[in-house]
Every structure is written in structure tokens, then in C-alpha cells.
Amino acid sequence: MWLHRPLLSRASIQLRFFSQAAAAAILHEPEVPLTYLEEFPKPDPKYAETILAIPRSTSGKNISAKERKVGRVPSIVFEQEDGQHGGNKRLISVRTNQIRKLVNHLGRSFFLSRLFDLEVRSEFDSDEIIEKVRVLPRRLHLHSGTDAVLNVTFLRAPSSALLKIEVPLVFRGEDVCPGLRKGAYLNTIRRTVRYLCPADIVPPYIDVDLSELDVGQKLVMGDLKVHPALRLIQSKDEPVCKIMGARVEQPKKSK
């Protein structure tokens, strides 16, 4: 189940990995297609939705509390610079009901690994669009007691961007897994894996195939089958899951 990926050129290896120059080098590797491939998951269009927002001029605890009271979530949109952090931020507010609906339908991990169109309007009911941009939800802060959405941080995601993303894992093949059929159990060690992804091919999830695992066998991050343009930014030897449990012993033959 090992994936053989095309090697980066020597010039791109020498670049600082999260710099804009490194991003350009990876995005222009001729061997790596920057489109979704049939054998890998791609976003379901039924979950495509434009997130509406309005500008917010100031920040602070009191301002944020007032926003939440009127059904809005204080949010920030950052420029994407190194795959995670950014400058040139824009303060916005989004509708609480819309974010809650998306999180409930997709799940938190899947919400944070999906790109959305973001429309900033002068008012929610206005036709005046100040800005329309594609974004990745970077952080989602929920209330520890009620799970109410407290704030959201977005990153701009133009086609030229490389994004650090915690991609959710979906485990498949339990029904035919040799180890599980023998009465063993699945020890799930990781639920997400971090990749550096070109913005145009961010995977909604990664399939983990359990169909050939026997008792005592495991899968590591390097075993996962992903689009060749994705770059794993964790150790490829870090375990993802393992089939745990004693092997079924054959009854001893009587002499």
C-alpha cells in the first residue's frame, strides 16, 4: 500500500518549504497534476455553500459579545502566506445559524478541511458585494459547555496557495478485514493527518483501507494513498491504526 510519489527537483528541495518560492516550485512540478483524480475523494457538490459575511471595524471581548447576542460570529480572514499564518487581516462577522448548520452537517474536522466561497457584503440583506474570495476555515472555537460557535478564523485560498490542513480519515473495509473477522478490534490512533495541500485539490477526507489487515498489523502515515501533489508534514512512520487482539489458536490435535 505504499505510494510512490514523484521526487521534487533539487532546486525546490533547497527552498524553505513554506516560503512562497517553495510553493511556486511545488505547484509547477510538471509531473504532478493539480486537479482531482478519479481514484481519490473530492468534495461533494451538495455541500457547496457560500458563507455570507459583513465587515467589522473593531475587535475585543465586548464587541464580540455584542455580535454573538445578535446572532453573529466574530471572525477574521487572513492572507495565506506560509500555509498557516498570515497578515493583512480583515475583520468580519458571519451568521451564527449558517456556521452552526455547516458544522452540524459536515462535522468539525470535515468543516475545517473544506474550502468555501466567502462573500463580504455591506449588510447581510444587501446586494452590494465588497469582496468575494475562496477561504479555508482554519480554526473553529466552540463553547466548552454548550458547543456554541464563538469565533471562526479563515484563510484566503487562491489557486496559488499551499495550505496546511488536518485531513480527516475515513476507515473502510471493516466488514472484510481478516483481523476483525477473527474477533480482534481496531485501535484507531489517528483521526486526522496533516498535509500541505495545493488549494485547488484539498481532499475532503482520506480513505483508510483495512481490508487486508490481519491481527497485529498496522498502517502508518506513509501507507495512506493520497493525491501525489499532497505533501505529508508528519513522520511517514507514525502509526494510524492497528488491529489489536490475540490470534485465534488452532485446536491441538489429539494424539
Tens digit of each residue's pLDDT (9 = 90 or more) over 154-184: 999 998 889 999 999 999 999 999 999 999 9
Lowest mean pLDDT among 55-59, 94-98, 121-125, 228-232: 55-59
Position 4 scores a pLDDT of 39
CATH architecture classification, 161-247 = Beta Complex (2.170)
> What's CA 47's distance to the chain center, in Å?
15
Rounding to the nearest 10 degrees, give the CA dihedral for residues 53, 55, 60, 61: -40
Tens digit of each residue's pLDDT (9 = 90 or more) over 35-49: 999 999 999 888 889
* HEC per residue, the chain: CCCCCCCCCHHHHHCCCCCHHHHHHHHCCCCCCCCCCCCCCCCCHHHCCEEEEEECCCCCHHHHHHHHHCCEEEEEEECCCCCCCCCCCEEEEEEHHHHHHHHHHHCHHHHCCCCEEEEEECCCCCCCEEEEEEEEEEEEEECCCCCCEEEEEEEECCCCCEEEEEEEEEEECHHHCHHHHCCCEEEECCCEEEEEEEHHHCCCCEEEECCCCCCCCEEEHHHCCCCCCCEECCCCCCEEEEEECCCCCCCCCCC
- Does the structure show a pLDDT above 80 at 90? yes
Tens digit of each residue's pLDDT (9 = 90 or more) over 7-64: 444 333 333 333 444 444 444 454 666 899 999 999 988 888 999 999 998 888 888 9
| Sequence ranges of the chain with CATH classification 2.170.120.20 | 161-247
Position 87 scores a pLDDT of 63
The fold of the 50-156 domain, in CATH, is Ribosomal Protein L25; Chain P (2.40.240)
| Sequence ranges of the chain with CATH classification 2.40.240.10 | 50-156
pLDDT mean across residues, the chain: 84
Position 10 scores a pLDDT of 37
